[in-house]
Amino acid sequence: MPEHTVKAFDEDITHLRGLIAEMGGLSELAIQESLDAMVRGDETLAAEVVKRDRKIDELHTEVDKLAVRVIALRAPMADDLREVVAALKIAGVVERIGDYSKNIAKRVGKIEGRDRFEPLTLLPAMGDLAAEMVHDVLSAYAARDPLLAKEVIAADDKVDAFYNSIFRNVVSYMVENPATISSAAQLLFVARNLERIGDHATNVAEMVHFAATGTYPPDEDD
Amino acid sequence: MSELIEHSRTPLLLTERKRVSVANNAAREILGEHMLGQDVRVAFRHPDAVALLDQSSSGTATVRGLVRRLDIWQINYKRLDANLGVIELVNQTAEADISRAHTDFVANASHELRTPLASVIGYIETLSDEDADYTPETRGRFFATVLSEARRLQSLISDLMSLSQVEAEKHDRPTGVIRLKELVEGASIDAAGPDRQHRLLIECHEDSTIVGEARQIEQVIRNLVDNALKYSGINETVVVSLDRAPSGDARLRVTDYGEGIAPEHIPHLTRRFYRTDPGRSRASGGTGLGLAIVKHIVERHKGRLDIDSEVGKGTVFTVRFPASEKAVDDVS
C-alpha cells in the first residue's frame, strides 16, 4: 500500500493488521489443540484452550476500539475505509472461530469409553480441512491475496461434504450402539462446530476479497 | 546492510520497532513480499512466536504452521537494542514428518499385513495335516487361495514401499520437465494391459509441459486408470482425457461409468486403507493404498486432486498440475 501523508494513519493500519494476525494465530492454534485434545482425551489441553480464548476476546475488543477510533479521527476514504471496515468485520468472525474451538474443547470430558469409540477417528480429517481453510484465509488476509481467498471459498464444499458424511456415519453408529448415544451426540456437535468454522473462514475470505478488490467474489463453478 | 544477508539460504529478517524492515530473499520466498513494512505479527501469527517477539530479550521458539499448515519452524530471535531485532528461521518439518510417518506406517501396515498372512498360515496348516484326506479339487482350491493371498501380500508390500518412498520425497521439489501427452497415453495403455485395452478411450487434445517426475506421474495415471477399469462394469468404457483448465493448468481426467461412489465416502477416499466396500475391494486385489499414493504424488507436484461422483452414473477423477511456465517460476 502507498504511504499516507498522515504517518500516524499508517501506524494505525499496521497495528490493526498486526492485532488481527495475532487473533488469527490464536484461533488457528485453538482449532488444532481442541481437536488434539478431543482425539486424545486430554482434558488439561482442553482447559488451556478454554482459558486462552479470553485472550482472543481481549484482542477483539482492542481491534474494535482502534478501528472505531481510526474511523472517527482520520475519516478514511475508499480503499483505506474498506481496509478498516474489513478489519472490524474480520475480527468479529475470527473471534467466533475461537468460540467454536472453545466449544469443542469443552466437550472433551463428555466423551465416554473413547478407546472403543470408532466415530472419533472420522474427526481429524475434517478438522484438518477446516483448520487449513482458516490458515489459508489468514495468509490471504496478510498478503491481501484475492486469489487465495477464492480458493478458501471453494474449499468450503469439501468441509460440508465431510460434515454430511460424518453426520450419517455417526447416526448409523448410534442406531447400532444405543449405549453410546450421549457421546456420539457430542461428536455431532463437534462436527457441526467444524462445519461452522469452515463457513466463517469463507466469510473472512469474502471480506479479504472485498478489502483487496472492492467487490465480493462472484459465485462461480470451475 | 540488507545486501549482506540477501543471498543467504537461511531465511533472515530484521525488525525495527516491531515492524519487518528487511527480509532476505529466502525469507521473502517463504513468507511473501507483503510482510515487508508490516507488523511482525502479520508474518508470525502463532501465539508462541508473538510471545517470543514481544519479550524484551532474545530467545527461541518452535512453532507449527508458519508457512503451510503443520510445517514446523524454529524461530531464533536476537534482540540487538530497544528497537532492532534479528530473526532467523530454521525448517524442522522434514525431521518431524519422518518420525510421524514412521509410526503411522507401522500401525496401519501391521494390521493389513496380518490379515492375508493369517489366512496363508491357516490354509497351509490345514493342508499339511496328514490325517485329513482332501480330494484333489479341495486341495487345489486351498492352494489357489494361498497363492492369491500371497500375491496380495506381495502387491501390498510393493504399494507400501512406493508410498513410503513418495512420503520420503515429499519435501523435495521435482526437477524434471515432462510432456504429459505421451506419458498419459503410454501409462494408460500400460495400466489396462492387453485384456482391458479395448475399454479405454484416450482423448489427449492439448499437450502440456509440467515440472515433475515422470516415474511418479506415470504411477498416478496407472493407479487412476486401473481403479476406473476395476470398479466399473466389465464392458464399460473408461475415458482418459488431457486438456487445459481455464486457469492454464494441465488437467487430466479419468472418467468411468461404473456404479459411482456414495457422497459420504468421497472425503475419506485418499486415506490409507480406506475402503468403501472392504469385501469387494479385496476380491479385486485392491490394497487400499492406490489413491493415498496418488494424493501424495499430486501434492508433491503442487497439483490438485478432485473427485466427483454420482451414484449409478460414474465417477470422474480430476488431477490438475500447474503448467510449467508457472512451475518453473516457482522453483527459481
Q: How far apart are CA A187 and CA A182, in angstroms?
A: 9
pLDDT at A123 > cutoff 90: no
CB contact under 8 A, A25 and B50: yes
Give the one of B45, B246, B266 whose C-beta lies nearest to A161's C-beta.
B266
Q: Which of B46, B245, B263 sits opposite A161 (nearest CB)?
A: B263
CB contact under 8 A, B42 and A132: no
Q: H helices within chain B, ranges in order? A: 2-6, 25-31, 40-43, 47-54, 93-127, 136-168, 180-196, 214-230, 278-283, 290-300, 324-331
Confidence of residue A78 (pLDDT cuts 50, 70, 90): confident
Give the contacts of B36 (CB within 8 A, at least 6 positions apart).
B20, B21, B22, B23, B28
Q: What is the pLDDT of residue B299?
A: 87
Q: How far apart are CA B174 and CA B57, in angstroms?
A: 41
pLDDT tens column, B269-320: 887 777 777 666 666 667 788 888 899 899 888 888 988 888 888 899 999 9
Residue spans per domain, chain A:
7-213
Give me the long-range contacts of A152-159 (CB less than 8 A, separation at least 24): A152/A201, A152/A202, A152/A204, A152/A205, A153/A202, A153/A205, A153/A206, A153/A217, A154/A222, A155/A129, A155/A198, A156/A198, A156/A199, A156/A201, A156/A202, A158/A129, A158/B267, A159/A126, A159/A129, A159/A130, A159/A133, A159/A194, A159/A195, A159/A198
Tell me the domain boundaries of chain B. 2-91, 93-172, 173-332
Give the span between the Cα atoms of B37 and B71, in whole angstroms.
25
- Assigned CATH for B93-172: 1.10.287.130
Q: What is the mean pLDDT of residues B130-151?
A: 85
Q: What is the pLDDT of residue B331?
A: 41
Answer whether residue B330 shows pLDDT above 60: no
Considering chain A, what is the average pLDDT of its residues? 87
* pLDDT band at residue B154 using 50, 70 and 90 as cut-offs: confident
Is it the case that residue A59 has pLDDT exceeding 90? yes
Residue B324 has pLDDT above 70, yes or no: yes
User: The pTM is what?
Assistant: 0.70
Cβ contacts below 8 Å, chain A against chain B, sum to: 85
Phi, psi (rounded to 5 degrees) for B255? -115, 130
In the DSSP assignment, the letter for residue B68 is S
**CA neighbor of A117 nearest in space, from A42, A34, A185, A193:** A185
**For B51-68, what is each residue's pLDDT tens digit?**
888 888 888 888 888 887
CATH class given for the domain over B2-91 = alpha beta
Look at B34 and A143 and tell me if their CB atoms are within 8 Å. Answer: yes
pLDDT interval class at B101 (50, 70, 90): low
Determine the distance in angstroms separating the CA of B267 from the nearest CA of chain A, rounded to an integer.
6
Which pLDDT score, from 0 to 100, does residue B56 have? 80
Chain B partners within 8 Å of A143 (Cβ): 32, 34
C-alpha closest to that of A43 among A99, A108, A107: A108
For residue A222, what pLDDT is reported? 43
Residue percentage of chain B with pLDDT more than 70: 91
> Model confidence at A40, in pLDDT bands (50, 70, 90)?
confident
CATH superfamily of B173-332: Histidine kinase-like ATPase, C-terminal domain (3.30.565.10)
Which contiguous run of DSSP H or E holds residue B60? strand B59-64
Asked whether residue A61 carries a pLDDT value surpassing 90, the answer given is: yes
| Average pLDDT for chain B | 83
Nearest CB neighbour to B263, from listed A19, A145, A165: A165
Contacts B268 to A, Cβ<8 Å: 122, 125, 165
Tell how strand B200-204 and strand B238-244 pair up: parallel
B21 touches chain A (CB under 8 A): no
- Overall average pLDDT of the B84-100 stretch: 81
Say if residue A106's pLDDT is above 70. Answer: yes
User: Residue A5: is its pLDDT beyond 70?
Assistant: no
- pLDDT tens, position by position, B33-42: 888 888 888 8
d(CA A157, CA A159): 5
ipTM of the complex: 0.82
The SS3 assignment for B265 reads coil
pLDDT of A99 strictly over 90: yes
Alpha carbon separation from B129 to B121, B136, B146 (Å, rounded):
12, 15, 15
Element (H, E) at B244: strand B238-244
Per cent of chain B over pLDDT 90 is 8
Res B304: pLDDT: 87
| pLDDT digit string, tens, across residues A6-31 | 677 888 888 899 999 999 999 999 99
Mean pLDDT confidence for B121-129:
86
- Which CATH class for the A7-213 domain? mainly alpha
Q: Which of A144, A155, A146 is nearest to A200 (CA)?
A: A155
